[in-house]
């Protein structure tokens, strides 16, 4: 999904929000914040390498899952590496034999989002001190990557009190959570590109989960509106957009065909918006006093079910039948009269009902 298309959809969403009652605008805008930060402000991460020079920069990135890299030009020491249609990274290699003046000039151009401290086993104490000094040139967070035991490196770093306070995580290079630890240390605007570049499935699922939370809350707030508003194709549009962004999170090119294929897996062709609106109508007929609040829950829970199924299908590689089971297990049941809530919630309050994980 191209950034221009995302901007167009985001503008349409904000125009829609402007038409809602004033009390609902603030909670909805709050839920849109992570969508804007992760997807609209998406950019390549800036990473500074310090420590073990035994691998070249492309070899190091390949060890994280970023294979078939295209090497770009250098911008004052920052070199770009890209994978077509998946994203890129800016890397400052400040390891052995790189003059400190060169590093300092590069840091005038960009500050890194994170410093990766690569453990170099068996180096003399003088070189260890040089690594620590390089980390001291910036105020960015540090993720220490151990060549062996993370506990051993943690003990060494603890003696360097100034550096130790900035180390977010010490993790072994062999640990499957290594890439996720680096991704989590990046700002939101750089996490998506890194997760796509390294094909880090758990990091992608985490980002998609925050997206799911925002869209479920958004649809839940809209669902508490009077039924004439729910009759508009708002829910279907939002749910389709959510699925498209989950596909985008994986690094696969977005296409309407993929979205249609997914909804076909779930057993319908045009999204769950119509299904959820019909369920809401039935509830309002059964219990008109509570109807709007409960229909808000249905809209949010239905959106949550779609999102969880999309994450399973596109990110986790769950087979079609299992994906459909996940969706159906989470979808609200409309065949029975729902239980009344213990107290009447305020439909315009800041915390609309949300499904629980």
pLDDT single digits (tens) 27-40: 777 777 778 888 88
- pLDDT number for residue 130: 80
- pLDDT number for residue 322: 96
- pLDDT number for residue 231: 41
Q: 145-179, pLDDT tens digit by residue?
A: 998 889 888 888 887 767 777 888 999 999 989 99
Q: 207 forms bridges with which residues in the sheet?
A: none
Q: How confident is the model at residue 1 (pLDDT cuts 50, 70, 90)?
A: low
Which residue ranges make up each domain of the chain?
3-41+199-330, 46-185
CB atoms < 10 A from the CB of 242, how many? Answer: 26
Residue 336 clears pLDDT 50, i.e. is over it: no
State the Cα–Cα distance between residues 350 and 97, nearest whole angstrom: 56
Residue 62 clears pLDDT 50, i.e. is over it: yes
Residue 190 clears pLDDT 80, i.e. is over it: yes
Q: How confident is the model at residue 23 (pLDDT cuts 50, 70, 90)?
A: confident
End-to-end CA distance of the chain: 28
Residue 102 clears pLDDT 80, i.e. is over it: yes
Q: How confident is the model at residue 295 (pLDDT cuts 50, 70, 90)?
A: low
Residue 91 clears pLDDT 60, i.e. is over it: yes
Structure tokens given for 262? 């997914």
Cβ–Cβ under 8 Å, residues 300 and 307: no
Residue 335 clears pLDDT 70, i.e. is over it: no
Q: What is the mean pLDDT of the chain?
A: 79
State the Cα–Cα distance between residues 40 and 42, nearest whole angstrom: 6
CA dihedral 186, 187, 190, 194 (to 10 degrees): 20
Residue 71 clears pLDDT 80, i.e. is over it: yes
**Does domain 46-185 match CATH 3.30.519?**
no
Residue 337 clears pLDDT 60, i.e. is over it: no
CA dihedral 25, 29, 31, 37 (to 10 degrees): 170
Cβ–Cβ under 8 Å, residues 145 and 119: yes
Cβ–Cβ under 8 Å, residues 48 and 94: yes
Q: In this prediction, what percent of the chain has a pLDDT beyond 70?
A: 77
- pLDDT number for residue 269: 54
Most confidently predicted of 125-134, 155-164, 189-198, 263-272 = 189-198
- Whole-structure pTM value: 0.80
Structure tokens given for 48? 């500074």
- pLDDT number for residue 238: 81
Q: Helices (DSSP H) in the chain: which residue ranges?
A: 3-18, 22-35, 57-63, 100-109, 125-135, 150-158, 161-164, 178-185, 188-197, 201-223, 227-230, 234-249, 256-266, 273-286, 291-310, 320-330
- pLDDT number for residue 116: 96
């Amino acid at each position: 999904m191209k950034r221009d298309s995302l901007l167009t959809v985001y503008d349409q969403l904000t125009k829609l929000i402007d038409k809602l009652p004033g009390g609902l605008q603030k909670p909805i805008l709050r839920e849109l914040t992570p969508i804007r930060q992760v997807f609209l402000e998406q950019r390549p991460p800036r990473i500074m390498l310090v420590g073990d020079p035994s691998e070249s920069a492309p070899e190091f990135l390949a060890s994280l899952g970023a294979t078939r890299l295209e090497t770009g030009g250098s911008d004052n020491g920052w070199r770009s590496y890209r994978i077509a249609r998946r994203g890129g990274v800016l890397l400052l290699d400040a390891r052995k034999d790189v003059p400190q003046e060169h590093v300092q000039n590069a840091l005038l151009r960009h500050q890194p989002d994170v410093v990766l401290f690569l453990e170099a086993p068996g180096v003399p104490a003088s070189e260890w001190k040089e690594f620590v000094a390089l980390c001291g040139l910036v105020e960015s967070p540090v993720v220490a990557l151990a060549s062996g035991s993370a506990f051993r490196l943690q003990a060494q770093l603890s003696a360097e009190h100034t550096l130790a306070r900035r180390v977010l995580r010490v993790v072994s290079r062999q640990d499957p959570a290594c890439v996720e630890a680096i991704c989590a240390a990046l700002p939101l605007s750089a996490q998506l590109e890194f997760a796509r570049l390294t094909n880090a499935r758990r990091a992608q699922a985490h980002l998609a989960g925050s997206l799911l939370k925002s869209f479920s809350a958004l649809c839940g707030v809209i669902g508490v509106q009077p039924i004439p508003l729910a009759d508009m194709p708002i829910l279907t549009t939002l749910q389709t957009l959510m699925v498209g962004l989950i596909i985008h999170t994986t690094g696969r090119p977005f296409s309407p065909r993929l979205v249609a294929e997914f909804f076909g897996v779930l057993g319908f062709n045009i999204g769950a918006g119509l299904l959820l609106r019909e369920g809401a109508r039935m509830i309002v007929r059964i219990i008109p006093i509570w109807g709007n609040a409960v229909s808000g829950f249905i809209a949010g829970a239905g959106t949550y079910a779609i999102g969880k199924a999309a994450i399973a299908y596109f990110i986790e590689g769950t087979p079609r039948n299992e994906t459909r089971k996940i969706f159906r297990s989470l979808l609200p049941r409309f065949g029975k009269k729902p239980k009344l809530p213990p107290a009447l919630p305020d439909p315009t309050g800041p915390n609309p009902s949300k499904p629980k994980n």
